[in-house]
């Protein structure tokens, strides 16, 4: 049975060797099994007819019933085209052909009732469909009305005349021969409990749904199944790793006690304490820790990381912290360096720009064990970086690292695997975390340090500039400082810079009595440092900048963030920028400036920012708006090559799938129960998922 779905696509009727090569190159369709899992990404509703009077630019493809009033060939040479006037009684539109003119002119007869199908575009007051599909109503009435599948394609395939229709033909051929071979892939109990339709029906209906209801039933079953198997594998991997790797045992909290009693600069929040406890119980358990620490910007993850380092060092192991950028690594080195000095611990910084001689010294100190803490960028992952005894590896902002890199850390010791703590400041929506890090345990810091007032966020239109400036003036008079951030919007850096400079000039004109800083990516490092320092010292009151201030700047007295053209920023970025203020004791503000015209998505983004300071809520909304592929760094992770589920939308299904996977593994960890036989077979056979699987492990 397996062999059937492993049959090369070349042997499907109508495909042949040439097209088989194309399909494999362009769509990674090699076998029958791959083809049947090439799901439509949308459906054309051929049950619905639009009226010309109700057409809008936003509609995707539309179907209109009417008659040709007249036809005419106009222009010459490459401008030659056939234009037909088409009417349905509610209005008129133009149908245009640039190619196959003679053929089309022959086919379209005036007076006959046609169904026209295509994308309507407005030109002036009239709508126009170029190269429409066209069929006499008489023919259409003989076919059953249904939803037509539209398949993902590439330009190259189109050029070789493999269209959605072609794939749909192949699919029909395949289903004829495959229908009887499709076996069930979920255990009966799951099917019954969720009232799923059988796998066979799901596969047929996902390609050729007779009704919208049948489509919905097929989708919910296939989405569940996809997410269920991902969860099952992640959970199995977690169990396996816990069994296989013995963790180093760190149970000496002596250094931590000293640090608490003598050097801790502030009282920890309850959330920080809770998380440290969770981590400590992992570290002394004898099992290897793989934990994700989530916490909003400014929630105080760094100190938690340091305290965990003390646990490792107290038990004679070394600790490492890896950050995604040089700036962040430097900042950690500076902050943790202060704590380390107080505790008489050795600490070094290793990045791409570390000098060779320093590198040599660091390598030696790592090897002989005299170095307690190493901070760095992905330079830490290089092979020559070997530890005497790495006990704890902390990764800051994990989502910028490929998941495979995490496992590289495990090879840093000869004989044991370090504990791994992944810290993320950009909150990852739960759905995504579950899929990307379903094999990790999760801790959350859900509380900001005391004394921080929530940032007040407002939306103002550009036309309110005078009031806004008045407000800024009041804040500055009260002793505060202001950030004004401009987006990188144009394709060209030159234009961006001009945009920023224009902004800078108008700010200078509006506030002639204050010193103003400017900061952008094209400035020399010394110039940047100089400007930054002036702002930190309070010599300048306003900092006009691009998004370079997103990371690495910490000025508690700066309590107002103005974001220009806020509609151009993504939600996560807006939230990160806003996180630059609200670090001091004063009330902080974030002003989102936009012009009047806002797209629907921009409106949602702005409204979300105004409504909530909660990074998780913001990340959820961001995921819904943009889809997971756009979220930073997640593209390479492999697990997100989902065939049908959509992490932005299928939260609820994911939840159920995960619960089901947990339950099954609890009751039958080895999957020995006869009812779970189908699961074993499925894990062994699904090639596409196995490919994903190998990429994340």
Q: Is 223 exposed, middle or buried (0-12, 13-18, 19+ CB in 10 A)?
A: buried
Q: Which is nearer to ligand ADP, 302 or 637 (CB)?
A: 302
Write down the residue that tokens 């961006």 correspond to.
Answer: 496
Could you give the CA distance from residue 603 to residue 627 in angstroms, rounded to a whole number?
17
Count of C-beta atoms within a 10 Å radius of residue 470:
12
Which residue sits closest to Mg ion, CB atoms considered? 425
Q: Which is nearer to ligand ADP, 262 or 384 (CB)?
A: 262
Q: Within positions 524 to 553, which residues make up the interface with Mg ion, using CB under 5 A?
A: none
The DSSP secondary-structure symbol of 512 reads T
Write down the residue that tokens 């309110």 correspond to.
Answer: 464
Q: Which residues bind ligand ADP (CB under 6 A)?
A: 266, 268-269, 272, 295, 297-303, 425, 449
Select the binding partner of residue 300 from ligand ADP, Mg ion, none (C-beta < 5 to 8 A, by kind).
ligand ADP
Task: Report the nearest approach of ligand ADP to the CB of residue 301 (Å).
Answer: 4
Cβ atoms of 94 and 84 within 8 Å: the answer is yes
**How many of the chain's residues bind Mg ion (CB under 5 A)?**
1
Q: Which is nearer to ligand ADP, 27 or 303 (CB)?
A: 303
Q: Which is nearer to ligand ADP, 269 or 608 (CB)?
A: 269
Antiparallel, parallel or unpaired: β 516-519 and 558-563: unpaired
Q: Could you tell me which of 220, 240, 222, 244 has the C-alpha nearest to residue 232?
A: 240
Task: Report the nearest approach of Mg ion to the CB of residue 95 (Å).
Answer: 58
CA atoms within 13 A on the CB side of 390: 29
Select the binding partner of residue 266 from ligand ADP, Mg ion, none (C-beta < 5 to 8 A, by kind).
ligand ADP
- Single out the segment in contact with Mg ion by CB under 5 A; choices: 79-87, 206-214, 341-349, 420-428: 420-428
Which residue sits closest to ligand ADP, CB atoms considered? 300
Task: Report the nearest approach of Mg ion to the CB of residue 120 (Å).
Answer: 50
- Single out the segment in contact with Mg ion by CB under 5 A; choices: 86-94, 314-322, 417-425, 522-530: 417-425
Task: Report the nearest approach of ligand ADP to the CB of residue 296 (Å).
Answer: 7
Task: Report the nearest approach of Mg ion to the CB of residue 369 (Å).
Answer: 28
Q: Provide CB contacts within 8 A for 584, sequence distance 6+.
A: 556, 557, 559
Could you give the CA distance from residue 335 to residue 28 in angstroms, rounded to a whole number?
48
The two structure tokens encoding residue 660: 């089901």
Query: What sign for the dihedral angle of Cα 342, 346, 350, 354?
Result: positive
Write down the residue that tokens 């190619």 correspond to.
Answer: 99
Task: Report the nearest approach of Mg ion to the CB of residue 298 (Å).
Answer: 8
Q: Which is nearer to Mg ion, 305 or 648 (CB)?
A: 305
Q: Provide CB contacts within 8 A for 168, sequence distance 6+.
A: 148, 149, 151, 207
Select the binding partner of residue 436 from Mg ion, ligand ADP, none (C-beta < 5 to 8 A, by kind).
none
The two structure tokens encoding residue 457: 């966020």
Select the binding partner of residue 268 from ligand ADP, Mg ion, none (C-beta < 5 to 8 A, by kind).
ligand ADP
Antiparallel, parallel or unpaired: β 126-130 and 290-295: unpaired
Q: Within positions 425 to 444, which residues make up the interface with Mg ion, using CB under 5 A?
A: 425
Select the binding partner of residue 295 from ligand ADP, Mg ion, none (C-beta < 5 to 8 A, by kind).
ligand ADP
Q: In residues, how long is the chain?
A: 697
The two structure tokens encoding residue 384: 């020559």
- Single out the segment in contact with Mg ion by CB under 5 A; choices: 87-95, 218-226, 424-432, 607-615: 424-432
CA geometry: angle 63, 65, 71, nearest 5 deg: 105
Q: Which is nearer to Mg ion, 94 or 326 (CB)?
A: 326
Q: Which is nearer to Mg ion, 82 or 307 (CB)?
A: 307
Task: Report the nearest approach of ligand ADP to the CB of residue 265 (Å).
Answer: 7
Select the binding partner of residue 591 from Mg ion, ligand ADP, none (C-beta < 5 to 8 A, by kind).
none
Task: Report the nearest approach of ligand ADP to the CB of residue 303 (Å).
Answer: 5
Select the binding partner of residue 140 from Mg ion, ligand ADP, none (C-beta < 5 to 8 A, by kind).
none
Q: Which is nearer to Mg ion, 6 or 550 (CB)?
A: 550
CA distances from 410 to 9, 157, 313, 389, 393 (A): 40, 43, 18, 12, 9
Task: Report the nearest approach of Mg ion to the CB of residue 165 (Å).
Answer: 52
Task: Report the nearest approach of ligand ADP to the CB of residue 433 (Å).
Answer: 16
Q: Which is nearer to Mg ion, 291 or 520 (CB)?
A: 291
The H or E element spanning position 484 is strand 481-485
**How large is the angle between the packed helices 615-626 and 600-611, nearest 10 degrees?**
170
Antiparallel, parallel or unpaired: β 126-130 and 92-97: parallel
Task: Report the nearest approach of ligand ADP to the CB of residue 445 (Å).
Answer: 7
Residues of this chain that bind Mg ion (CB under 5 A): 425
């Amino acid at each position: 049975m397996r062999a059937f779905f492993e049959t090369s696509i070349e042997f499907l009727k109508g495909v042949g060797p040439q097209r088989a090569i194309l399909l494999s190159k362009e769509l990674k369709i090699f076998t029958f099994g791959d083809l049947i899992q090439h799901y439509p990404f949308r459906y054309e509703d051929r049950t619905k007819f639009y009226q010309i009077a109700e057409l809008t630019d936003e509609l995707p493809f539309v179907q209109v019933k009417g008659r040709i009033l007249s036809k005419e060939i106009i222009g010459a040479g490459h401008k030659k085209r056939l234009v037909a006037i088409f009417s349905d009684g509610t209005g008129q539109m133009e149908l245009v052909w640039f190619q196959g003119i003679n053929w089309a002119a022959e086919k379209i007869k005036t007076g006959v009732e046609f169904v026209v199908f295509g994308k309507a575009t407005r030109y002036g007051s009239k709508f126009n469909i170029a190269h429409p599909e066209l069929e006499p109503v008489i023919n259409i009435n003989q076919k059953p009305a249904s939803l037509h599948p539209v398949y993902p394609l590439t330009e190259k395939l189109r050029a070789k005349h493999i269209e959605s229709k072609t794939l749909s033909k192949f699919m029909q051929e395949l289903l004829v021969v495959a229908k009887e071979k499709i076996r069930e892939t979920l255990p009966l109990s799951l099917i019954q409990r969720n009232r799923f339709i059988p796998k066979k029906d799901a596969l047929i209906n996902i390609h050729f749904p007779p009704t919208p209801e049948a489509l919905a039933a097929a989708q919910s079953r296939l989405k569940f199944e996809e997410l269920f198997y991902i969860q099952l594998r992640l959970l199995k991997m977690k169990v396996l790793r816990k069994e296989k790797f013995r963790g180093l045992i760190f149970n000496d909290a002596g250094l931590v006690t000293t640090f608490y009693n003598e050097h801790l600069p502030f009282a920890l929040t309850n959330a920080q304490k809770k998380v440290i406890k969770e981590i400590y119980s992992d570290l002394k358990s004898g099992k290897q820790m793989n934990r994700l620490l989530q916490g909003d910007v400014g929630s105080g993850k760094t100190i938690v990381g340091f305290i965990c380092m003390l646990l490792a060092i107290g038990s004679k192991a070394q600790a490492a912290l890896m950050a995604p950028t040089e700036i962040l690594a430097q900042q950690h080195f500076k902050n943790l360096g202060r704590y380390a000095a107080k505790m008489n611990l050795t600490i070094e910084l290793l990045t791409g720009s570390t000098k060779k001689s320093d590198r040599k010294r660091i390598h030696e100190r790592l090897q002989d064990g005299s170095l307690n803490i190493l901070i760095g960028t992905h330079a830490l992952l290089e092979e020559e970086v070997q530890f005497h005894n790495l006990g704890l590896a902390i990764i800051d902002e994990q989502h910028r690292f490929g998941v495979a890199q995490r496992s590289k850390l495990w090879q840093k010791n000869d004989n044991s695997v370090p504990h791994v703590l992944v810290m993320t400041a950009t909150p990852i929506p739960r759905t995504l975390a579950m899929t990307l890090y379903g094999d990790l345990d999760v801790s959350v810091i859900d509380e900001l340090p005391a004394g921080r007032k929530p940032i007040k966020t407002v939306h103002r239109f550009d036309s309110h500039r005078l009031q806004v400036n008045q407000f800024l003036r009041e804040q500055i008079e009260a002793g505060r400082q202001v950030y004004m951030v401009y987006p990188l919007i144009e394709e060209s850096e030159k234009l961006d810079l001009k945009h920023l400079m224009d902004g800078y000039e108008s700010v200078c004109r509006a506030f002639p009595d204050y010193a103003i800083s400017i900061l952008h990516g094209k400035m020399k490092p010394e110039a940047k440092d100089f400007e930054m320092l002036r702002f930190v010292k309070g010599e300048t009151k306003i900092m006009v900048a691009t998004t370079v201030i997103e990371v690495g700047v910490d000025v508690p007295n700066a309590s107002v963030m103005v974001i220009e053209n806020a509609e151009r920023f993504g939600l996560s970025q807006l939230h990160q920028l806003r996180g630059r203020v609200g670090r001091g004791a004063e009330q902080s503000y974030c002003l989102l400036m936009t012009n009047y015209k806002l797209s629907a998505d921009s409106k949602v983004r702005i409204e979300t920012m105004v409504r909530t300071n909660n990074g998780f809520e913001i990340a959820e909304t961001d995921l819904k708006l943009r889809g997971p592929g756009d979220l930073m760094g997640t593209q390479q992770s492999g697990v997100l090559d989902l065939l049908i589920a959509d992490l932005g939308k299928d939260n609820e299904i994911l939840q159920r799938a995960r619960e089901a996977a947990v339950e099954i593994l609890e009751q039958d960890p080895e999957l020995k129960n006869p009812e779970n036989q189908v699961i074993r077979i499925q894990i062994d056979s699904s090639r596409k998922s196995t490919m994903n699987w190998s990429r994340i492990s």
